[in-house]
Amino acid sequence: MQATSVDLIINCRWLIPIIPENQIMERHGIVIKAGRILDILPIEAAADKYIANRTENLDHHAVMPGLINSRADGATRLFRGHDAGSESPANDSLLTDQGFIAASTELAIAEMLKTGTTCYADKQHANNSLIESVQLSGIRSQLNFALYEKPTNFGSDVNDYLHQGLKLRDYCSSYPLIEIACNLNNINLLTDTTLERLASYVNELELRLHIQCNTDNDEIEQSIKQWGRTPIQRLFDSGLLIPESQLTHANHFEANDLALIQQSNCHLVISPQANLINPNIMQSIKTLMETDNNISLATSSAGKDSYNLWLELQAITQTIAFNQPDKSLDATAHQALRMATINGAKALGLETEIGSLEPNKYADIIAIEINSLSHQPLYNLAAQLIANNASHKVTHSWVAGSELLANSKLCQFDEHNLIQSARDWGIKVQTIN
């Protein structure tokens, strides 16, 4: 039988496909053609069945789906380490400066790619500069348009925000790696009429919703005082708490809220790493994990923390182990890895395309070098990847079969230029403050 010509074969020492669950395959090849996974089979069989334009032999690596960061604030990356950070009024002008947003986003994306993230949901209101930076980077993303009642730098009124958002959605339809969602940052600032109007667009267009609410008790109390209901209840009543909703940082909720969350089957996005020392929020995360809702991971926002999703993986494994002490290390690690891969894909509506290594899915893949002191002896691959913070050992990444990281070097960015740009903007931030 004549061998089939393909673009790339990645020969893996270890392979964590995510689906089927809790499996580790050894000495298998991933066959890639036209950006998608064509086949996964033993290395010897792959060599007999396919002829590749290029073969990548990863003899000392674990290969798995790229991580999915379900919420990141790329525009604030350049504020990290600054005392005032993005919350300083003096820095407001920078958050509307397209050059600053582009430079900050590129730095955040570079950091994500170098630590194994190949897809992320950006909190920032998308503009042309942001779209261009994301598109040129090669990363897969969900970008947002915002919705407000009052004039901001992003629009004048509800009609304008919706018009621009739908225009943005149409424009990005030509970019296969970019999805568009509507971002709701503060439900308390939106009237019931606006929420109901948005619901009509959501139903008609199958529009994804990226919603931050119930972040603290003050927000809930304000909503009850102003609207007579909690933010979760208002979303539910308006038809916006649905399976297409991505509910982020829901750290506080009433008993009725939890029932509505479960009933709606919405997606939950959590950031456990920043809250490990907060017992109230960790209890909320524990409660959410007891539901049947899909839960994915995100890095903390506002430029205060790392874009390294492995830190969230470490935190969630500690949470799982504390709440389920009888669960094995292996089962805990695989559960955490699902939250950072296929669960993230589900949250973004991309589970048929990415999130696991299966035939016909896009080749969004990362490779992690295992041939180091920290991984020896190798008793449990999944658990040791997380425990050892594998971010610094990510050597390769592909998105839709295109290589974005090769031998630990970024393919689409000049790292020296990124560093110089960050230094230059850092001087401006210090000057403003």
Q: What pLDDT, on the 0 to 100 scale, is given for residue 24?
A: 97
Residue 85, pLDDT > 90, answer: no
Angle made by CA atoms 348, 33, 39, in degrees to the nearest 5: 85
90 assigned to some structural domain? yes
Q: Which residues contact 430 (CB under 8 A, 6 or more apart)?
A: 82
Percent of the chain at pLDDT exceeding 90: 75
| 77 secondary structure, DSSP code | G
Q: Which of 121, 126, 123 is nearest to 169 (CA)?
A: 126
Same domain, 202 and 109: yes
Tell me the per-residue pLDDT of 321-351, one tens digit each, with 9 for 90 and over. Answer: 988 999 999 999 999 999 999 999 999 999 9
What predicted TM-score, i.e. pTM, was given to this entire model? 0.96
Tell me the per-residue pLDDT of 411-425, one tens digit each, with 9 for 90 and over. Answer: 999 999 999 999 999
CB contact at 8 A, 74 and 108: yes
Distance CA 128, CA 126 (A): 7
Tell me the per-residue pLDDT of 308-326, one tens digit each, with 9 for 90 and over. Answer: 999 999 999 999 998 899 9
Residue 375, pLDDT > 80, answer: no
Same domain, 115 and 161: yes
Same domain, 339 and 248: yes
* Segments of 237-299 assigned E as strands: 245-248, 267-270, 295-297
Same domain, 210 and 276: yes
Residue range 387-400: average pLDDT?
A: 92
Residue 71, pLDDT > 60, answer: yes
Q: What pLDDT, on the 0 to 100 scale, is given for residue 431?
A: 84
- Local confidence band at 305 (pLDDT 50, 70, 90 cut-offs): low
Mean pLDDT of the chain: 92
418 assigned to some structural domain? no
Q: Which of 21, 46, 15, 16 is nearest to 32 (CA)?
A: 46
22 assigned to some structural domain? yes
Same domain, 211 and 286: yes
Q: Which of 235, 127, 257 is nearest to 184 (CA)?
A: 235
Distance CA 284, CA 291 (A): 11
Tell me the per-residue pLDDT of 136-145, one tens digit each, with 9 for 90 and over. Answer: 999 999 999 9
Tell me the per-residue pLDDT of 150-165, one tens digit each, with 9 for 90 and over. Answer: 888 788 999 999 999 9
Same domain, 247 and 190: yes
Same domain, 282 and 293: yes
Give the tokens for residue 410. 């970024």
Q: Which of 292, 280, 298, 287 is nearest to 323 (CA)?
A: 287
Q: What pLDDT, on the 0 to 100 scale, is given for residue 317?
A: 95
**72: phi then psi, degrees, rounded to nearest 5:** -145, 145
Report the DSSP pairing between strands 178-184 and 140-146. Answer: parallel
Q: Number of structural domains, the chain?
A: 2
Distance CA 64, CA 24 (A): 10
DSSP, residue by residue, 105-125: HHHHHHHHHHTTEEEEEEEEE
Same domain, 179 and 124: yes
415 assigned to some structural domain? no
Same domain, 134 and 214: yes
CATH of the domain at 388: 2.30.40.10
CB contact at 8 A, 429 and 82: yes
Give the tokens for residue 139. 């990363």
Distance CA 184, CA 206 (A): 16
Higher-confidence residue of 377 and 41: namely 41
Residue 304, pLDDT > 60, answer: no
Q: What pLDDT, on the 0 to 100 scale, is given for residue 90?
A: 60
Q: What pLDDT, on the 0 to 100 scale, is given for residue 162?
A: 93
431 assigned to some structural domain? no
Q: What pLDDT, on the 0 to 100 scale, is given for residue 306?
A: 80
358 assigned to some structural domain? no
Same domain, 47 and 95: no
Residue 121, pLDDT > 50, answer: yes
Same domain, 260 and 391: no
Residue count of the chain, please give it. 433
Residue 43 CA: distances (Å) to CA of 11, 48, 60, 305 = 6, 9, 14, 40
299 lies in which domain range? 67-347
Residue range 82-107: average pLDDT?
A: 80
427 assigned to some structural domain? no
Residue 301, pLDDT > 60, answer: no
Residue range 369-375: average pLDDT?
A: 80
Q: Which residues contact 131 (CB under 8 A, 6 or more apart)?
A: 143, 171, 172, 175, 178
Residue 182, pLDDT > 80, answer: yes
CATH of the domain at 235: 3.20.20.140
Tell me the per-residue pLDDT of 350-367, one tens digit each, with 9 for 90 and over. Answer: 999 999 999 999 999 999
* Segments of 66-116 assigned E as strands: 67-72
Residue 303, pLDDT > 50, answer: no
Residue range 397-403: average pLDDT?
A: 98
Q: Omega of the bond prior to 176 within 30 degrees of 0, cis?
A: no
Q: Which residues pair with 106 in a beta bridge?
A: none
Same domain, 210 and 319: yes
153 assigned to some structural domain? yes
